[in-house]
């Protein structure tokens, strides 16, 4: 019986002879300076992942402690009487409203078409990942929710979600990531909206007549590809309809590609009625998540001007056109005040909570923070 040392020696000899008999690969071409910089930057980013995670936890802890200290400092003194009347006791024991509104699923679908992976640069893909994350967050928190689909989910974008963002998207609720294209996603959305999980006609859809409601559910709504290059203007959102948003960040290099993509497939197109309500200091092209948020606002208030004012970034310089009025100025003022009071800074958004008391909360928080840190949003 051979000793272990002799077996190891024979194995090393076999490895050496095998390596000598195999043809030697040619040396790979040297990497460029930019490629080396990118590799070093990506490596440094990966090495600092745990440190950033701990820093976010520390910031959240300090934030909670500051709030607690501020609450104790300004807490008013109260005098509790020894005896209270029965009516007072009954009032005290009555359940109080929590101030949280009821979330309503609406029979309407938004599809983000991510079939442009090969047309974007690496930084633009990072920006798109951030926009998709924000779109999901906005829809999840919205009072009136849509069914959300991410179509053509693959390539570098999927690789980023799986690896850099640690696959947190798999725990998200109310969204479907599909390898299928936007037409197949629209077909799935139509079936979902007509099912028992389709949703309720609430918010801006409450005014739809009962006869039209039944007809829309039976026949289905419309499928519209939203693009700023379309000659048609969207006047309203319709129940049991699907609206497709192009998931493309390209700095206008591929002008008109979403419109051409839809026309080649014989699909109806339309653009948001921004020009009918707003004066803009820049182009009417918006980021993917802004288009989603505008439509979510419309579902709540049924007014485009109010939705545009609340969502369109200030850097776009948008103001209402002369003669355009809001449906409810008092409501708009309250909404804007609430947004300003609660809207975190771009840096603070890295640590904000997207979900409340739900499994996967921290997963979505981390995904949002990672997406925003590594891929700062780039205006399209």
Phi, psi of 150 (to 5 degrees): -115, 105
Distance of CA 312 to CAs 52, 134, 183, 281, Å?
30, 14, 28, 12
Phi, psi of 213 (to 5 degrees): -60, -50
| Structure tokens given for 294 | 């505008």
Q: Helix H segments across the chain?
A: 4-21, 33-47, 49-73, 86-93, 122-141, 155-159, 182-193, 210-219, 257-264, 274-277, 288-301, 304-311, 329-342, 361-374
Q: Say which residues have a Cβ less than 8 Å from residue 317's Cβ, sequence separation at least 6.
A: 280, 281, 282
From the candidates 113, 162, 250, 356, which is the catalytic residue? Answer: 250
Q: With the C-alpha atoms ordered 123, 125, 126, 130, is the resulting torsion angle positive or negative?
A: positive
Phi, psi of 30 (to 5 degrees): -65, 145
> What three-state secondary structure class fits 90?
helix
Active site residue 250: yes
| Structure tokens given for 175 | 């969204």
Query: How many other β-carbons are positioned within 10 Å of the β-carbon of residue 356?
Result: 8
Q: Which residues are catalytic?
A: 250
């Amino acid at each position: 019986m051979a000793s272990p040392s002799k077996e190891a020696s024979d194995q090393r000899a076999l490895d050496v002879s095998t390596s000598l008999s195999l043809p030697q690969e040619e040396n790979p071409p040297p990497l460029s300076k930019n490629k080396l910089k990118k590799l070093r930057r990506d490596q440094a980013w990966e090495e600092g992942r745990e440190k950033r995670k701990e820093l976010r936890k520390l910031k959240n802890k300090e934030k909670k402690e500051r709030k607690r200290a501020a609450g104790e400092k300004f807490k008013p003194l109260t005098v509790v009487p020894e005896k209270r009347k029965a009516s007072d006791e009954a009032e005290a024991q009555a359940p109080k409203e929590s101030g949280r509104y009821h979330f309503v699923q609406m029979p309407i679908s938004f599809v983000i078409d991510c079939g442009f992976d090969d047309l974007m640069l690496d930084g633009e893909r990072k920006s798109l990942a951030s926009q998709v994350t924000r779109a999901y967050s906005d829809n999840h928190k919205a009072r009136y929710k849509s069914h959300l689909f991410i179509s053509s989910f693959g390539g570098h974008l999927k690789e980023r979600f799986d690896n850099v963002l640690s696959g947190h998207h798999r725990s998200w609720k109310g969204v479907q990531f599909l390898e299928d294209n936007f037409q197949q996603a629209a077909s799935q959305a139509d079936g979902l909206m007509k099912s028992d999980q389709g949703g309720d006609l609430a918010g801006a859809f409450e005014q739809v007549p009962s006869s039209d409601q039944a007809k829309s559910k039976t026949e289905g709504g419309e499928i519209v590809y939203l693009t700023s290059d379309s000659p048609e203007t969207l006047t309203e959102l319709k129940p049991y309809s699907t609206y497709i948003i192009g998931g493309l960040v390209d700095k206008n290099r591929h002008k008109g590609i979403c419109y051409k993509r839809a026309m080649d497939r014989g699909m109806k197109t339309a653009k948001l009625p921004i020009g009918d309500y707003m004066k803009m200091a820049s182009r009417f092209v918006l980021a993917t998540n802004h288009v989603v948020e505008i439509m979510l606002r419309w579902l709540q208030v049924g007014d485009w001007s109010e939705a545009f004012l609340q969502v369109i970034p200030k850097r776009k310089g948008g103001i209402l056109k002369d003669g355009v009025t809001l449906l409810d100025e008092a409501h708009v003022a309250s909404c804007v005040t609430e947004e300003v009071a609660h809207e975190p800074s771009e840096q603070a958004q890295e640590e904000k909570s997207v979900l409340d008391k739900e499994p996967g909360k921290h997963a979505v928080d981390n995904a949002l923070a990672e997406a925003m840190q590594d891929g700062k949003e780039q205006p399209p």
